[in-house]
Amino acid sequence: MRKILHADCDCFFAAVEMRDNPALTELPLAIGGSPERRGVIATCNYPARVFGIHSAMPTARALRLCPHLTLLPGNFEKYREVSQQIQAIFHELTPLVEPLSLDEAFLDVSQVEGFSGSATWMARWLKEECLARTGITLSVGVAPNKFLAKIASDWEKPNGLTVITPERMEDFLQALPVKKLHGVGPATGARLDAMGIATCEALREVPLERLVEAFGKFGKRLFELARGIDERPVRLERERKSISVESTFAQDLPDLASCRQALAPLCQKLMERIARHGHPPLAGIVVKVRFDDFSVTTLESRGLAPSPESFSRLLEQAWERGRRPVRLIGVGARLLPELHRRQLTLPIE
C-alpha cells in the first residue's frame, strides 16, 4: 500500500494578503480581475464565501453579492515566493513531490523512514512547519492513492487533516458521493444522477460493461475509482508548457454563432486556471476544435494575450477549416519557456 499526501493551502492568495495585513482577516476579501475588464475571482477568504462568492465567479457578480467586498488585483510575484518556500518544506520530507499549482501538491511518502513511517505524523509536521515558516495554513489529506488523498484534503478544510487508512477506505468509499470522484464534472454527475447512482456503493453495483456503454473509456475509470483503485504515480515536476481547458458538448454545436457562445465560459475557466498558476508569463494562445467527424484542427497565435476577442478571432479561423458541427472546443495559453521569461513578457489581461 502506498502512502500519498495531498497538501493544499487554504484560500492561498487571500491567506498571503491576510498574513501581511491582518486588518483584512475579518473582512470579505477576494483576489481577482477588475469587473470592467470582465475579470474573475481567483481566490476569496472564508468571510467572502459566506456571501456565496467562489473562485471562477465573474468579479462583477461577486461585487453584486457583496458590494463592500475588498477586491485586490493580487501580487503574483509575492505568491510565487511563498509558494517556493512551501514547496521547499515539501521537499524536506520527500523528493517525490508533484506540484499541481502554486499552492497544491501530491507527495509520495511511502518510502519516508522518519516519523516512524507514520504518514499522519508527517502530515502534522507539514502543517506545523508551513504555518511556522510562512504563516499559511495547509489542509492535508492522507490516503493510499492520489484521488482519495485529494478528496481527503478537502474534507475538513480549512486547516484540515483527514486520514483515510487502508482499513477505513472501504467505509469511506461506500458513503462517498460519486460527484466527488476525480473527473466527474457536472455533465457526468447529472447522467449518474439520472441512472439513480449517488454514492460509490451504488456505483459498484453497475457492471463494467454497462458503465463503458454509458461513459466510454471513462466508464472503466469510474468502475475502478468506486473500488478505490487509482494507480497513478506521483510525478516529479516537469516544465509546464501550456495551460488549457476544453469542453465536449452534450450536443454538437451546429454553427459558428453557437461556437462563439460556448467560448465565453471556457475563456473564464482558462483565466481562472492561469491565475491559479500565479499568472506566469505567456507566449501566445491556442484554440482547438474537434468537428463532428472527429477531425481536429489546432490554431495558435504567438504574441496574442488571452482575451475573449482574441480567442473569438482564432476560433473563427479554426472553424473555417471544417465548416461543420463542432463536438469539442479547447482554449489554451502557451507559457514562455523558463529560460526566456526575463526577456519578454506579455500583459495578461
Burial (0-12, 13-18, 19+ Cβ within 10 Å), 345: middle
Binding segment for Mg ion among 7-15, 190-198, 203-211, 287-295 (CB under 5 A)? 7-15
Give the Cα separation of 270 and 159 in Å (integer): 28
Query: Which of 64/133 has CB closer to Mg ion?
Result: 133
Least Å distance between CB 11 and Mg ion? 7
Least Å distance between CB 153 and Mg ion? 9
Which three three-digit cell numbers place residue 211? 458503465
Task: Kindly determine how many residues on this chain lie close enough to bind Mg ion according to the rule CB under 5 A.
Answer: 3
Query: Which of 9/314 has CB closer to Mg ion?
Result: 9
Torsion of the alpha carbons at 33, 39, 42 and 43, rounded to the nearest 10: 70
Give the Cα separation of 154 and 130 in Å (integer): 17
Bridge partners for 29 per DSSP: 70
**Do 91 and 83 contact (CB within 8 A), yes or no?**
no
Binding segment for Mg ion among 17-25, 100-108, 152-160, 203-211 (CB under 5 A)? 100-108
What are the residues whose beta carbons fall under 8 Å from the beta carbon of 36, sequence distance 6 or more?
none
Of positions 5, 7, 8, 176, contacts Mg ion by CB under 5 A: 8
Which three three-digit cell numbers place residue 158? 480549512
Binding segment for Mg ion among 31-39, 102-110, 116-124, 243-251 (CB under 5 A)? 102-110
Which three three-digit cell numbers place residue 98? 508533484
* Binding of residue 103 to Mg ion (CB under 5 A): yes
Least Å distance between CB 48 and Mg ion? 15
Query: Which of 42/283 has CB closer to Mg ion?
Result: 42
Query: Which of 211/234 has CB closer to Mg ion?
Result: 234
Binding segment for Mg ion among 26-34, 98-106, 275-283, 338-346 (CB under 5 A)? 98-106
Which three three-digit cell numbers place residue 50? 459566506
For residue 81, indicate whether it is catalytic.
Answer: no
Exactly one of 17, 98, 104, 272 is catalytic; which is it? 104
Least Å distance between CB 335 and Mg ion? 20
Which amino acid does the sequence have at 52? G
DSSP string for 311-334: HHHHHHHHHHTT-S-EEEEEEEEE
Query: Which of 103/230 has CB closer to Mg ion?
Result: 103
Least Å distance between CB 217 and Mg ion? 29
Least Å distance between CB 104 and Mg ion? 5
Query: Which of 103/314 has CB closer to Mg ion?
Result: 103
Between β-strands 70-72 and 29-32, what pairing exists: parallel, antiparallel or unpaired?
parallel
Could you say which residues in the range 234-273 bind Mg ion, by CB under 5 A? none
Give the Cα separation of 95 and 84 in Å (integer): 14
Per-residue buried b or exposed e for 42-64, using 16+ beta carbons within 10 Å of the residue's own CB:
bbbbebbeebebebbbbbeebbe
Binding segment for Mg ion among 68-76, 96-104, 191-199, 243-251 (CB under 5 A)? 96-104
Give the Cα separation of 9 and 57 in Å (integer): 20
Q: Could you list the residues that contact Mg ion (CB under 5 A)?
A: 8-9, 103
Residues marked active site are found at: 104
